[in-house]
């Protein structure tokens, strides 16, 4: 379960404080896959970062039961001078999982070849995203945070990513940011529509998508 209690996040724009998320109060049950829907700038990635704990709300609090992943596909916490394998083992120690098992899984899944044992500073952004996705899928989190992650790589890798993500969802929940409605329908079972600082939660995913598409089509 993840509970939002009067959560507000505001940023300074032209010297004025403008809320992106305004007094959000709602509860998301455990093991639900939630689509975060909204226009660009509506606060989807901001909300994802606050759930992850990498960004603090301006007011209010977010409470959770169970473990939460970092935003899947985000490799910003990896050390550029360490190899992919060394970064993987470091994350394994932080989360208390078997270093060898996680490293073997990531090496096979990510298909980085010899680059897996080379420093991260030589990786492309796509390679970093693959590594981050592989590491996160190799750890059994209770809630996964996803931001367009299955767009990484070629068609074969995207298919493999979608398959393993669906497998993880059999035992976990997620928050998914995506502009791809077929992908949203594939991965999610409920939705939250963000617009002008407000959030509306829908237990019925199709109702959430309808609301979101209405906002996109009318500009309201």
10-residue mean pLDDT series, the chain (220 residues): 95 89 93 95 93 94 93 80 97 95 97 97 90 92 83 77 90 93 92 94 97 86
Per the CATH hierarchy, to which homologous superfamily does domain 1-67+173-220 belong?
P-loop containing nucleotide triphosphate hydrolases (3.40.50.300)
The C-alpha atoms of residue 116 and residue 124 are separated, in whole angstroms, by: 12
- From the CA atom positions of the chain, what is the Rg in Å? 18
Q: Where are the domains of the chain?
A: 1-67+173-220
Tell me the pLDDT tens digit for each residue of 68-119: 998 886 767 799 999 999 999 999 999 999 999 999 999 999 999 999 999 9
- The beta-strand segments (E) located in 138-189 are 143-147, 173-177
Place of tokens 């997620």: 174
pLDDT of residue 159: 86
């Amino acid at each position: 379960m993840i509970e939002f209690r009067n959560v507000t996040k505001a940023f300074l724009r032209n010297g004025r404080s403008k809320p992106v998320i305004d007094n959000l109060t709602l509860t998301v049950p455990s093991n639900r896959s939630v689509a975060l829907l909204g226009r660009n700038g509506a606060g989807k990635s901001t909300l994802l970062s606050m759930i992850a704990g990498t960004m603090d709300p301006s007011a209010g609090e977010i409470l959770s039961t169970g473990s939460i992943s970092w935003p899947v596909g985000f490799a910003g916490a990896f050390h550029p001078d360490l190899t992919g394998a060394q970064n993987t083992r470091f994350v394994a120690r932080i989360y208390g999982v078997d270093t060898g098992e996680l490293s073997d899984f990531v090496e096979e899944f990510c298909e980085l070849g010899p680059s897996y044992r080379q420093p991260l500073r030589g990786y492309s952004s796509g390679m970093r995203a693959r590594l981050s996705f592989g590491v996160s899928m190799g750890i059994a989190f209770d809630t996964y945070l996803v931001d367009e992650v299955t767009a990484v790589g070629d068609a074969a890798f995207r298919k493999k990513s979608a398959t393993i993500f669906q497998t993880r969802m059999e035992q976990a929940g997620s928050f998914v940011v995506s502009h791809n409605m077929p992908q949203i329908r594939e991965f999610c079972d409920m939705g939250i529509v963000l617009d002008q600082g407000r959030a509306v939660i829908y237990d019925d995913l199709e109702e959430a998508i309808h609301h979101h598409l209405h906002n996109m089509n009318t500009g309201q």
